[in-house]
A and B are shown apart, each in its own frame.
Chain A
Amino acid sequence: ELKVEQNPLFLSMQEGKNYTIYCNYSTTSDRLYWYRQDPGKSLESLFVLLSNGAVKQEGRLMASLDTKARLSTLHITAAVHDLSATYFCAVDQGGTSYGKLTFGQGTILTVHP
């Protein structure tokens, strides 16, 4: 059974600082997704990572995937208040179950002035 673990689960940052959220998963997969969720809202897609070594960047966020280590990172550069949200990684179960996602627990990010 695929298990996905994120850490930290809670992250309080000062504006302007850098930090990394980690997403570890337990079985082989080469497809990983990052989503953002604002309180009471739905999920917004941030990144799709489809191969080992994939790196994608959008604004102050950069995501990477290491399939050998079964690890993805979401790096935040010079945080701003607007980045406050819950961030989920989700891993494709693969095999005969492509398209079925298992989500991590989520990381609640709060950016303070």
Chain B
Amino acid sequence: DAMVIQNPRYQVTQFGKPVTLSCSQTLNHNVMYWYQQKSSQAPKLLFHYYDKDFNNEADTPDNFQSRRPNTSFCFLDIRSPGLGDAAMYLCATSRDEKGEETQYFGPGTRLLVL
């Protein structure tokens, strides 16, 4: 089945220790998104890639970076995680940027910062 896969599902890191979350997709979609969802809150868009074009949300902290080495993979790097970065990180894909189809979400990576 075509799908969005995230690894790891759970990640524990120490305060200030860099961490990388990964997302892969077999849908061959052009657009990939990263969302942050804190407990009992709505998902918040951090950034997205349309193909190789990177689009950062204005209020995404510099501590968050992303890489998309090819169509299938996208990474979220948190350079110096703080306690406030503990959250579920959701990767999503869509066929294009026209918004005519839903976004497909991966299962998420739950990040805990100690």
Q: Which of A41-49, A58-66, A72-80 contacts B (4 or more CB under 8 A)?
A: A41-49
Binding site for B on A (CB under 8 A): 31, 33, 35, 40-45, 48, 50, 88, 92, 94, 98-106
| Other-chain contact of B107, A41, A45, A98, A102 (Cβ < 8 Å) | A41
Complex-state Cα separation, A106 to B39, whole angstroms: 12
Q: Are A42 and B105 in contact (CB under 8 A)?
A: yes
Q: Cα distance A94–B100 when bound, in Å?
A: 11
Do the beta carbons of A31 and B103 come within 8 Å of each other?
A: no
Cβ contacts under 8 Å, A35 to chain B:
105
Q: Is the CB of B31 within 8 A of A99?
A: yes
B89 CB to nearest A CB, Å: 11
Residues of the A chain whose Cβ atoms lie less than 8 Å from the Cβ of B2: none
